[in-house]
Amino acid sequence: MAGSPPDPYACRLCDAALGDTWWETPMGERVCLRHTGPSCRSCAVPGADADGLCPRCARTAVVTQDGVKALLPRIRTGLHELGLRLTTPVRVRLVSTGEMVAMSGEPAGTVTGCTMSIDAEVVDLAIVAGLPAPQFGAVVAHECMHAWMVQRGFGIVAPPIAEGLSQFASDGWLGRQRDPRARLLREAIAQDPDPVYGDGFRQIKAAVRRHGFLPVLRTVRAEGRLP
């Protein structure tokens, strides 16, 4: 995914010459017609494994605490650029799908991150193991926005505002990434039909366009509503 630009006439999966016909993924990557099977849920090339990832994305999936450590500085820098600084750094802990189901009470695969807090103290951020790097960063950015609100005493915020702000932080972080998979994740956030996450994000985006990010945060904190 880095280095010299790929040859547009070669298959991205096997390097064979493409000839006259090929598949083109939503990311604009071309692959030979002989590659079949389910699409990778991260980059959309055919040939995903049981976890829904192609071998290329599976290689960059965050599965160990060392993998977390390697990515966190970059995620933190991106959040600082958005004006989000946590008063106390929080721990990011990888959990299994089973642990996440137990914590969230939601079916497997639906919740990828969770902010654990007691009053104004964030205990830790739990992120499900096995997410490809850009998605991992997006989920950490989302949870950091929740943690930021907890640490600044926002109290209880209506779900579309709280989740909308967190999706806005994800989107802002993704917008600073060069990884082409970040674009697909941004499209998914923008087009999410969910009334809490999707509508919430679009409401926040419109409010930020009118007033700016920090004034929106100030009004939400003081009045529990959007300006």
Window of 22-30, 71-79, 162-170, 212-220 that interacts with Zn ion by CB under 5 A: 162-170
Q: How far apart are alpha carbons 170 and 180 in whole angstroms?
A: 15
Q: How far apart are alpha carbons 218 and 227 in whole angstroms?
A: 9
Judged by CB under 5 A, the residue of 30, 54, 75, 168 near Zn ion is 54
Q: Judged by CB under 5 A, how many residues of this single chain contact Zn ion? A: 12
User: Are the C-beta atoms of 222 and 154 separated by less than 8 Å?
Assistant: no
Q: How far apart are alpha carbons 148 and 34 in whole angstroms?
A: 48
Q: Closest approach of Cβ 35 to Zn ion, in Å?
A: 5
Q: Is residue 94 part of the contact set for Zn ion (CB under 5 A)?
A: no
Tell me which residues in 13-32 interact with Zn ion (CB under 5 A): 13-14, 16, 32
Q: Is residue 71 part of the contact set for Zn ion (CB under 5 A)?
A: no
User: Are the C-beta atoms of 60 and 41 separated by less than 8 Å?
Assistant: no
Q: Is residue 57 part of the contact set for Zn ion (CB under 5 A)?
A: yes
State the burial class of residue 123 (Cβ atoms within 10 Å of its Cβ: 0-12, 13-18, 19+).
middle
Tell me, residue by residue from 29 to 48, as one string, x for binding to Zn ion by CB under 5 A and - for no binding. ---x-------x-xx-----
* Interface residues toward Zn ion, by CB under 5 A: 11, 13-14, 16, 32, 40, 42-43, 54, 57, 163, 166
